[in-house]
A and B are shown apart, each in its own frame.
Chain A
Amino acid sequence: MKDVTIQFIPFGELAYLSSYKRVKKLIEMAEENKIILIQGKLEPQEEADLIEETMRKIGRSSKFKGIELTSFVPQTKNLTIFQGLREKMANALVGNRDSLTIIGPATVVREIKKDPTKIELYLRK
């Protein structure tokens, strides 16, 4: 089993970057074969940008094979209307910090399996 580095990125470290810089930083870290654990979640457009940039990198590099990506958003089904509103206001003010995003380079992470309650990471030998 090869060594695996897991790097945690707190919400604040990405929050003030532009979408372009955020995506660039994440790709660069994935290229360094790190598994990245992010507090928060990317916007849908950023996720699409991340996939596009990943494809460009694969096209340019013979070593980079892409990424595995998943995000985990806590279930908010059983919240009361008041709790739901409070949650939305908090997210609007300070960003969605309850979510978790995992990005792993495909050369390290073979597969990420996810269901509503858990995430499983399968690493390459």
Chain B
Amino acid sequence: MANNFVSFFKRFFEDVFKTKKNVKIGFYGPPNSGKTTLANKICLDWIGEELGSASKVPHETRNVQFKEKVNIKHNGKQATFKLIDTPGIATRIDYEDFLAYGLNSKEAKQRAKEATKGVIDAIKWLDDVDAVVIVLDSTKNPYTQVNVTIIGNLVARKIPVLIAANKIDLRGADTKKIEAAFPEYGVVGISAKQGKNIDEFYDSLFNLIKKV
């Protein structure tokens, strides 16, 4: 009887105070949706340094990049994460598109070449994440095949998904449209750049990892 009593309390306190360790969170989405900006915001909040560089030129992130042991404490909850920032997934990459951003032909071709490899790497990493934050630009149409393909693959792999509707600080942002497009998933509207609604994002993140 006494042993059962001790065992019950031991399990109870383990559940209440346990810290999830090394939860691998992937940041996925189309190019220029703000994946790196969001990953940077989280890293700055909790470890004081950025994860990667963000830019207005599409496909700035062309390699999968990580930050390990990011310990997040929020509203009495705590977990340690490995943040995995992935290159934007696209179905087309044309080096000529980069010329409009001031790159010369050689730089644009090199960027396009690296971007194609980045997309392949991002897809391969789907097999090695515990949960995914899909970062979408809330000023853009969410009904794109890239978004559908990413979500379809996560569902097939039974990987929990949270959708961050980013850029809500911009005119034309429409979080409701993203909610309507993906009614089965949690959607949180944020501005990673300005830190808007970031507390709601952390709430959603801790809800997400309950499913891991």
Contacts and interface: CB of A to CB of B under 8 A. Distances in A.
Contacts of A55: 93, 116-117, 119-120
B92 A47 contact: no
A74 interface: no
Contacts of A54: 91-92
A66 B90 contact: yes
Interface in B93-138: 93-94, 112-113, 116-117, 119-120, 123, 126
Given A67-B91, A67-B92, A52 B149 contact: no
Interface stretch (B73-81, B152-160, B198-206): B152-160
Given A56-B120, A66-B94, A106-B94, A51 B144 contact: no
Interface residues of A, number: 25
Interface in A44-101: 44-45, 47-48, 51-52, 54-56, 58-59, 65-71
A113 interface: yes
A44 B155 contact: yes
B18 to A, nearest CB: 33
Contact of A52 (B119, B144, B148, B152): B119
B116 A56 contact: yes
Q: Specify the main secondary structure of chain B where it touches its partner.
A: helix
Nearest to B126: A48
B123 A65 contact: no
A114 interface: yes
A71 to B, nearest CB: 7
A52 B120 contact: yes
Contacts, number: 73
B113 A69 contact: no
Contacts of A65: 92-94
Contacts of A69: 91, 145
Given A43-B156, A58-B112, 19 more contacts: A44-B152, A44-B153, A44-B156, A47-B145, A47-B148, A47-B152, A48-B153, A51-B89, A51-B91, A52-B119, A52-B123, A55-B119, A65-B94, A66-B94, A67-B92, A69-B91, A112-B145, A114-B144, A116-B143
Interface of B: 89-94, 112-113, 116-117, 119-120, 123, 126, 141, 143-146, 148-149, 152-153, 155-156
State the 6 A-B residue pairs at the shortest beta-carbon distance, nearest first. Answer: A66-B92, A44-B152, A106-B92, A55-B116, A47-B149, A65-B94
